[in-house]
Amino acid sequence: MKYTVVQRGDEVSKQLTERFHQLVQGYGLILDEQSPDLVLSIGGDGTMLQAFHKYVGQLNRIAFVGIHTGHLGFFADWKPDEIEKLAEMMRLQVGNADIPVVSYPLLEIQTITESGMETSLALNEFTLKGVEETLVAQLNINDEMFEMFRGDGICISTPMGSTAYNKSLGGAMVHPSIEAIQMAEIASINNRVYRTLGSSVILPKHHHCDIYPRTKQHMLLSLDHLYVQRGDVVSIRCRVSPDAKVRFARFRPFPFWSRVREAFIATN
Ligand code: NAP
């Protein structure tokens, strides 16, 4: 089995990375940064986002797994003192072509600009915000006008991303086995002139939404942790990716609702 590590860069993550290399290379795993079968992220959920985008072109063959060196993460759910256990789980997979995995849906974003079309994938979410003024955009669902949005911005998240920015916006937690995307408003203006739904909307896999910003509006677009400012966007189509999924190595069960409870509710 070929593996690689993406780590946060702090002292603890660096030391754990060294320890992990020693352990698994002793078990016959091969370090291969170009085309790994398994990518270990050591750091936080933000580190997993970096790992995901680094290997986004090889999603159909890579499985991800994460160790957290801070608080419990949604993507990084192994504790630092479990590193030997994780390495042992990998040893058991040497020579096995099928690592046990779970696959979760991703958000596909098709951006039409004045110069062409770009397609990208988000693990957590895509957001769109006005830069020098409030965002004004028409929102269509399945090619029918839904609402005219005016406010700070719009956040479209995956089920895995429902626990991230979407949660801060009052969106629902969505179990990652549900193939859906969620659209949440960021501080919409609602008065007698401008009206939006005011609550988040969950779209199933066979639906799509299109966002048409006001012509030449200068906007800040984010794809997970990556940000870019643009003034040439004509429209943006969001849907559950019809063919790409993210695969996480599942060496032991850790139910989603247990993670939600441990991350947000448990006090011990
Ligand atoms: P960051 O601003 O340094 O950290 C954002 C926080 O979100 C970190 O605590 C991170 O966990 C956590 N996080 C990331 N993905 C998560 C998930 N799926 N479920 C629960 N928590 C999650 O930025 P970053 O580390 O580069 O991460 C980028 C993400 O930040 C974006 O994808 C977006 O979801 C989130 N964000 C949130 C807000 C908000 O809530 N108001 C605003 C902007 C961006 P770790 O500490 O384990 O890395």
The C-alpha atoms of residue 148 and residue 218 are separated, in whole angstroms, by 17
Ligand 1 probe mutation, 45, 168, 224, 257, most atoms within 8 A of CB: 45
Asked whether residue 216 carries a pLDDT value surpassing 90, the answer given is no
Q: Binding residue per annotation — 194?
A: no
Q: State mean pLDDT over 53-71.
A: 95
CATH of the domain at 14: 3.40.50.10330
Q: Please tell me the predicted confidence (pLDDT) of residue 215.
A: 87
Instruction: Clarify whether residues 7 and 93 are in a common domain.
Output: yes
Q: Kindly state the DSSP code that residue 129 receives in the 8-state scheme.
A: E
| Cα 225 to ligand 1 centroid, rounded to whole Å | 8
- The answer to whether residues 47 and 156 belong to one domain is no
The predicted pLDDT at position 93 comes to 80
**110 plus 228 within the same structural domain:** yes
Q: Which of 165, 169, 220 for a ligand 1 pocket mutation test, highest count of atoms within 8 Å of Cβ? A: 165
Same domain, 134 and 221: yes
Same domain, 229 and 127: yes
Is 215 annotated in a binding site? The answer is no
Looking at the structure, tell me whether residues 164 and 232 fall in a common domain.
yes
Dihedral sign for Cα atoms in the order 104, 57, 211, 225: positive
Give the three-class secondary structure for 221. strand
For 30-58, write each residue's pLDDT tens digit: 999 999 999 999 999 999 999 999 999 99
Give yes or no: residues 96 and 114 share one domain: no
Say whether both 27 and 88 belong to one domain. Answer: yes
Distance, CA of 211 to CA of 109 (rounded, Å)? 11
> What number of other Cβ atoms are within 10 A of residue 10's Cβ?
15
Q: Whose CA is nearest to atom 39 of ligand 1?
A: 165
**Whether the predicted model's global pTM rises above the 0.85 cut:** yes
CA distance 159 to 168: 14
Per the annotation, does 187 bind a ligand? Answer: yes
Looking at the fold, whether 157 and 209 belong to one and the same domain comes out as yes
Are 113 and 95 in the same domain? no
Domains held by the chain: number: 2
Whether 212 and 141 have beta carbons less than 8 Å apart is answered as no
pLDDT in tens, 102-158: 999 999 999 999 999 999 999 999 999 999 999 999 999 999 999 999 999 999 999
Same domain, 139 and 191: yes
Which structural domain, as residue segments, surrounds residue 95?
2-100+250-264
What's the CATH code of the domain at 172?
2.60.200.30
Active-site annotation holder among 37, 45, 210, 224: 45
**In sequence order, which residues have a C-beta less than 8 Å from that of residue 232 and are 6 or more positions away?**
113, 114, 115, 216
- Does 243 appear as a known binding residue? no
- Whether residues 33 and 80 share a domain: the answer is yes
Confidence of residue 72 (pLDDT cuts 50, 70, 90): confident
Q: Which amino acid is at 25?
A: Q
Contacts of 250 by beta carbon, 8 Å cutoff, 6+ apart: 100, 101, 102
Radius of gyration of the chain (CA): 20
Is 45 a catalytic site residue?
Answer: yes
Supply the pLDDT for residue 232.
95
Q: Residue whose CA is closest, atom 17 of ligand 1?
A: 164
User: Token pair 């609550």 is at which residue?
Assistant: 199
Cβ–Cβ < 8 Å for 167, 173: yes
